[in-house]
Amino acid sequence: MKKYWILSAIIAVASCTGTQKDMRQDNTRMEQEDLRNGNELTIDSMERVRKDKLMEISCNLQFTNSCGTVSDSINASISQHILEQGRNSNVREAMRDYVSKTYSQYKGEVEEMQARGDYFADMIFSFERNGRFMDDCADSVVTYEAISYTFLGGAHGYHSVTYLNFSRRTGHLITIGDVLDLSQKDAIIGLLVRDLEKQTGCNGMQELEDEGFISIRDMQVTDNFHMGKRGITFAYNPYDIACYALGKQFVTLTYEQLRPYMK
């Protein structure tokens, strides 16, 4: 595992404002590291937190701090796909907007539920976004992993993972269609299904469905993937191909297995 050279760390904790009954807390933490792998990209990270009686919102994301179009392109994709704040290369600004807009969007809904006395009115809505650059990635690729959790009341929250793969040379986002020949997707899906059968000990589609893979017959070659050094890991979040109880599903196919379908 590659070691990062820590250049600096800045910790800033904003003071709490409001009454004891309605407390707001905004914390910000930033640190800077140097990713020494091919084209150098300086990595920053920032944590932004807001908590009160209504909800908890937290972002803890790494992003690039280098100058140039590669860094700007990577950051813009993080803002767009992880924070859903459009293509903003200033991730710090996008994080602040995400926290503020999320709070405003759900504030009225939570207050209304509490006023009605709904059975989960005392449960705090929760939104978490954690993102990092991965060590295990193909030589020409920068891979970003984001873990998210959302709780909007009810029986349980929702956990998910999102992978973004970038060209180390250009910073452009790489799609699965850039890597694999999707005209042969049926053959690729066959490899994915056989790996799931091996993981679960199932034999055939029906046994997978009996196990809880409720959407396995509609399985697609997902664009949520991680290009590692030895192969590609395809990630399926809850409900993508399986019921919530089975959680996230990961299938790793080696580059040797995928060689007939690589572009």
Per DSSP, the three-state class of 262 is strand
Task: Output the six-digit token pair for 80.
Answer: 């767009």
Sheet with 55-64: list strands edge to edge.
5-13, 25-35, 41-51, 55-64, 125-133, 141-151, 158-167
Which of these, 51, 47, 60, lies nearest to 25 by C-alpha position? 51
Q: What is the CA radius of gyration of the chain?
A: 21
| Cα(60)–Cα(74) distance, integer angstroms | 16
Domains delineated in the chain: 5-167 (3.30.565.40), 176-261 (3.90.640.20)
Inter-residue contact 70 to 95 (CB < 8 Å): no
Print pLDDT tens along the chain (263 aa): 333 332 222 222 232 233 333 334 445 555 545 444 455 789 999 999 999 988 999 999 999 998 899 999 999 999 999 999 999 999 999 999 999 999 999 998 888 877 887 766 667 899 999 999 999 999 999 999 999 999 987 788 999 999 999 999 999 999 999 999 999 999 999 999 999 999 999 999 999 999 999 999 999 999 999 999 999 999 999 999 999 999 999 999 999 999 999 99
